[in-house]
Structure 1
Amino acid sequence: MNYTIKQAAEKMGFTVPTLRYYDKEGLLPFVEKKPNGTRVFKDEDFEGLAIITCMKNSGLPIKDIKKYMDLCQEGDSTLQERMEMFLERKEAVEKQREELNKIMETINHKIWYYETAIKAGTEAVHKQNKND
């Protein structure tokens, strides 16, 4: 099935300007472009868009996503390099997850702190426990 840029944007949860920006930055070499410049998205293009979304959401800069897309266009000779990009991304995301876990611990502690203070009617309950 063929999709317009508007339909593709809606299907992926993007805006049309976002898809145009991705195209301008060279992230969409897999999308067919008619001689008049109109982009024609096909079902198989959504896998590429999902990878772009994953990479972007993981914090990878657009220039590095472009590098990945260029490597994909070069074929099998770049398989190792593409895998290494994902291994690096995995490591970075794991570090982010560790940082988020620490943040969550602090948030959970503060929730506990306020729940117990509210139940006691005062924050002094925490000061009393420290002296015990």
Structure 2
Amino acid sequence: MLFTIKEVQEQFGLPASTLRFYEKEGILPPIGRDSGGRRLYSEPELEWLQLVVALRDTGMTMDHIKNYVELVKQGDETLHERRLILLEHKQDVERKMNQTLEHLEKINRKMAIYDLLAHGKKDFLI
């Protein structure tokens, strides 16, 4: 099955300009075209785009994504290096998630204090 750029935009919430940029920068493979020159995305290209979006949404820089893509293009001899890139990114995401959860817990504790104060309870430590 093939998808138009409009369908891909709607599915991923990305503007067409971003999709064209990803293709131009080599982050996506060259996208096939119909007889009118309009881009048509295949399932494998959408799967690749899902990974790119996940990496981007979790904070990987475009330079790191480009580096990863270049390694993929080089073939299986870069498997170890690609895995290491993903492992380091995963660990960074986990650190950020843990930090965010700690901050969220502090916010929740402060809100609980405000709830108690709002109900007239003042016999606790702030």
**Into which bin does the TM-score normalised by the smaller protein fall?**
0.7 to 0.9
Q: Deviations 1:27-80 (Å, cap 9, x if unpaired)?
A: 112533579864320122111011001110111101111111121111111111
2 CA distance for matches of 1:89 and 1:76?
20
Matched, 1:110 2:110: yes
Q: Closer, same or farther in 2 for the Cα pair 1:4/1:26, shift >3 Å?
A: same
- Residue type of the partner of 2:124? N
SS of match in other structure, 1:40: strand
Structure-2 residue corresponding to 1:10: 10
Deviation of residue 114 (structure 1)? 1.0
5 Å matches for 1:73-112?
A: 73-112=73-112
Which residue in 2 is equivalent to 1:57? 57
Looking at structure 2, the residues matched to 22 and 36 of structure 1 have their Cα atoms a distance apart, in angstroms, of 21
Mapped contact 1:33–1:40 kept (Cα < 8 A) = yes
So what's the TM-score if we normalise by structure 2? 0.87
How large is the RMSD of aligned CA atoms in angstroms? 2.1
Q: Which residue of 2 aligns with 1:129?
A: 124
Matched residue type, 2:44: E
Describe the shift of the 1:96–1:15 C-alpha distance in structure 2 as closer, same or farther (beyond 3 A).
same
Q: TM-score, normalised on structure 1?
A: 0.83
Kindly indicate whether the alpha-carbon contact (under 8 Å) linking 1:29 and 1:69 is maintained by their aligned counterparts in 2: no
Question: What amino acid sits opposite 1:50 in the alignment?
Answer: Q
Residue of structure 1 in register with 2:71 after alignment: 71
Q: Which moved more, 1:2-11 or 1:89-98?
A: 2-11
Instruction: For 2:19 and 2:108, locate their aligned partners in 1 and report how far apart those are by CA, in whole Å.
Output: 38
After superposition, the Cα gap between the structure-2 partners of 1:36 and 1:73, relative to the gap in structure 1 and judged at 3 Å, is farther
Find the structure with the greater CA-based Rg: 1
Report deviation, 1:8: 1.4
Q: How far 1:83 moved relative to its partner?
A: 0.3
Amino acid at match of 2:65: I
* Fraction of identical pairs, as percent: 32
> For residues 31 and 78 of structure 1, do their structure 2 counterparts lie closer, same or farther at Cα, with a shift above 3 Å needed?
farther
For structure 1, which runs of at least 5 residues remain unmatched after alignment?
none
